[in-house]
Amino acid sequence: MKIAVCVKQVVTRDWPLRVTDSSDWVRDEEASFEMNEPDAYALEEGLRLKEKFGGEVVVCSAGPQRVSQVIREGLARGADRAILVEHADLASADANVVAKALADAVREESFDLVLTGLQSDDQGFGQVGVVLAEYLDLPHATIIVEVDVVDDGAALRAKRELEGGWFQWVGMPIPALLTVQSGINQLRYATLKGIMASKKKDVRVVIPTNFGEHGQRILGLYVPEKDKATRLLEGSPTDAARALVKLLQDEARTL
């Protein structure tokens, strides 16, 4: 199988976020970065399918030059080669722009399976995978927790996580695209041998020239502020109790 796995570089979870002066993004030039967690599970699933059925895994990422960090991490974990869609504007672009940039870069490869994480740890909209499937004209399924390849590699069955503890099995032909849920497998980590081997693996750099239209823009970001306020409930104990219950329901929303 020829498998593409799309990974995103996100700000490290424990980094104290600082907003830019324009309040439309974070000061990522000061941040530390890591691979988006759901994408790491997608990569692991791709590597396991390759080990079971043969083929190759190609790790793909879109963003400024610094995203080569997560590409090298993916190669060190076992991916065979990589595609870097490099442009500074992709660091904070919306799902449509990122998906189009990735689609233009991978379309000619004719992958049997494209895997992405369910959503990103920063913006968290969960849309890049499904929009990418539309651009590539592929059937797709989301929130995948198990993958079975059937019919001698011509189709697959995927288990979807639904609400309330329910699951759904869906079947589709190959090629296809799946967005993978965190926890689908046990992650492997790069070994010293893998890190050394990654330095010799091919990374194809694509410079996008035709972006899709922005479907949304971030108007403002802010760090939540903590404050304390005391409200005195006057009247009889019965009236105060009624007022307290109403406040807990309508304002605190704890009841």
pLDDT at residue 232 tops 80: yes
pLDDT at residue 16 tops 90: no
- Give the pLDDT of residue 15: 79
Percent of residues, the chain, with pLDDT higher than 70: 99
Lowest-confidence pick of 46-50, 112-116, 147-151, 247-251: 247-251
- Give the pLDDT of residue 19: 78
pLDDT at residue 25 tops 80: no
pLDDT at residue 17 tops 90: no
Listed in sequence order, the residues at least 6 apart from 85 whose beta carbon sits closer than 8 Å to its beta carbon are 60, 61, 62, 63, 101, 102, 105, 206, 208
Q: Which one is predicted more confidently, 234 or 255?
A: 234
Contact 169, 159 (CB under 8 A): yes
- Give the pLDDT of residue 23: 75
Confidence bin at 170 (pLDDT 50/70/90): very high
| Rounded Cα gap, residues 40 and 13, in angstroms | 15
pLDDT at residue 168 tops 80: yes
Confidence bin at 224 (pLDDT 50/70/90): confident
What would the two tokens of residue 22 be? 């324009």
| Rounded Cα gap, residues 231 and 244, in angstroms | 10
Q: Across the chain, what does the average pLDDT equal?
A: 89
Query: What radius of gyration, in Å, describes the C-alpha atoms of the chain?
Result: 22
Lowest-confidence pick of 150-154, 183-187, 251-255: 251-255
User: What is the three-state SS of 51-76?
Assistant: HHHCCEEEEEEEECHHHHHHHHHHHH
Confidence bin at 99 (pLDDT 50/70/90): very high
Where are the CATH 3.40.50.620 domain residues in the chain? 2-206
Contact 97, 208 (CB under 8 A): no
pLDDT at residue 215 tops 80: no
From residue 232, alpha-carbon distances to 15, 229, 238, 248 in Å are 38, 10, 14, 14
96 phi/psi in degrees, rounded to 5? -65, -45
List, for residues 46-68, the tens digit of each pLDDT value: 999 999 999 999 999 999 999 99
- Give the pLDDT of residue 109: 92
- Give the pLDDT of residue 30: 75
- Give the pLDDT of residue 26: 77
Q: Pick from 101, 124, 105, 137: which is nearest to 213 by CA? A: 101
Peptide bond into 208 cis (omega under 30): no
Lowest-confidence pick of 36-50, 142-156, 161-175, 224-238: 224-238
Fold that domain 2-206 belongs to in CATH: Rossmann fold (3.40.50)
What DSSP letter does each residue of 10-39 carry, written as one string?
Answer: EE-TTS---B-TTSSSB-GGG--EEE-HHH
Contact 24, 221 (CB under 8 A): yes
- Give the pLDDT of residue 138: 95
